[in-house]
Amino acid sequence: MKFPLLFSSYRLGGMILKNRITMAPLFLGYANADGSAGELIIEHYREMAGSGAAMIVVENVSVHASGMGHPFVLRLDDDKFIQGISKIADAIHSAGASAVMQINHAGRYAYASAQRLAPSAFKTGDVIPKEMTVGEIEAIAKAYADAATRVRKAGFDGVEIHGGTGYLLVQFLSGRTNLRQDEYGGSLENRMRFPLRVVDLVKEAVGNAYPVGYRLLADEWLPDGLHTGETAILAKELQARNIAYLSVMAGTYDSFFLPEYIKEESKDAYMAHFAGEIKRAVPEMTIITAGRISSPETAERILQEKTADLIGLARVLFADPQWPGKAAGTIDAPIIKCAPSCTVCLNRVMQGKPAFCAKWDKKRREQFLAMHK
């Protein structure tokens, strides 16, 4: 075996992962307009799970109507969505992978909701969100817990709390966007209060044995934003709360389009050093790293150097669902790489349209576009 660590099994919470390859959450705008799961998204996850990755983390689902980041985002703010969502879990399981679902509230990045909620009235583009009252803070924390309960009921093996991409939990954590004067703002302890309240309520709702992961934003990639000095302290708090894993990422919508971010983002394993910094702060914790891990050689090195315990592939797996098979040597063909300069999937999502990959063969792209203009 050429990549012995990559293809070694791993115990994560109650799950036994057959290898170290996971799919990192990748929102593609595939949900139905009412937030339910239909054939497009179910078949997409069947394909991703069929890749041979051990664990699939399904893209962010919204815990509350005010927190939808996009018109075609999955919703779990009502029991009526459980049935459709359970079909995604079934599709993943039948393809032989473990299934985890990510839960989210987009806060100031929510799309066109009547009133965007955020810790403070920090301007986003032309929009000034509403500063949440303490009552709203508690209601939204409860909404995360209710959504986590629905994830469990839908048959998923675990739930991941989205503490990345600059969404609501990051908006509370960051002194840049949280300007509150009460017990939820000011000191790091106060800024961590809301994310940790969410964690506590989610853990209480699903039970301590059920795996709860956390997408951790290590660095906002902005000079006045969050850095690992603070986020490593959050990592320790999460460890103390028996979080199953930290999936480390960096950057927010305020940094993703800056030239310096775009330059870094084009490099192989561009977020691994952040994962390594968090791993050093909490060495006992399971750490997932993602970010253009385009070859099994890079993945094996990350594992060998103990930068992370698990590999996360998002666009990388979307561009080539045969990545795991090719890495294992069961498929004899070169890996099709997600191109660093390509923004087709992201642009489609930003336009409110279902994403496709520029690397798909012509026939597949044409068929997809004929169905999803």
User: 204 to each of 75, 105, 208, 276, how far by Cα in Å?
Assistant: 21, 19, 7, 30
Pairing assessment for the beta strands 117-118 and 55-62 based on DSSP bridges: unpaired
Return the SS3 of 27.
coil
- Would you tell me how many other CB atoms lie within 10 Å of the CB of residue 141? 21
Name the H helices within the chain.
Answer: 39-49, 82-94, 134-153, 168-173, 188-206, 228-240, 259-265, 272-281, 296-304, 315-319, 323-328, 344-350, 362-371
Nearer to ligand FMN, 38 or 340 (CB): 340
Nearer to ligand FMN, 180 or 228 (CB): 228
CB of residue 323 to ligand FMN, shortest distance in Å:
10
111 is catalytic: no
DSSP 225-287: S--HHHHHHHHHHHHHTT-SEEEEEE--TTTTTSHHHHHHHTSTTTTHHHHHHHHHHSTTSEE
CB of residue 113 to ligand FMN, shortest distance in Å:
18
- Give the closest residue to 220 by CA, choosing from 344, 352, 122: 122
CB of residue 21 to ligand FMN, shortest distance in Å:
11
Nearer to ligand FMN, 133 or 347 (CB): 347
CB of residue 58 to ligand FMN, shortest distance in Å:
9
- Give the closest residue to 91 by CA, choosing from 99, 83, 100: 99
- Return the structure tokens found at 364: 């597949």
* CB distance 49 to 91 below 8 Å: yes
User: 79 to each of 146, 147, 224, 346, how far by Cα in Å?
Assistant: 9, 9, 40, 30
Would you tell me which residues interact with ligand FMN (CB under 6 A)? Answer: 24-27, 59-60, 102, 162, 164-165, 215, 249, 290-292, 313-316, 345-346, 349
Nearer to ligand FMN, 177 or 252 (CB): 252
Nearer to ligand FMN, 205 or 271 (CB): 271
Alpha carbon 24 to its chain's center = 6
Catalytically annotated residue among 30, 45, 109, 167: 167
CB of residue 25 to ligand FMN, shortest distance in Å:
3
CB of residue 131 to ligand FMN, shortest distance in Å:
25
Nearer to ligand FMN, 170 or 205 (CB): 170
- Residues tagged active-site: 167
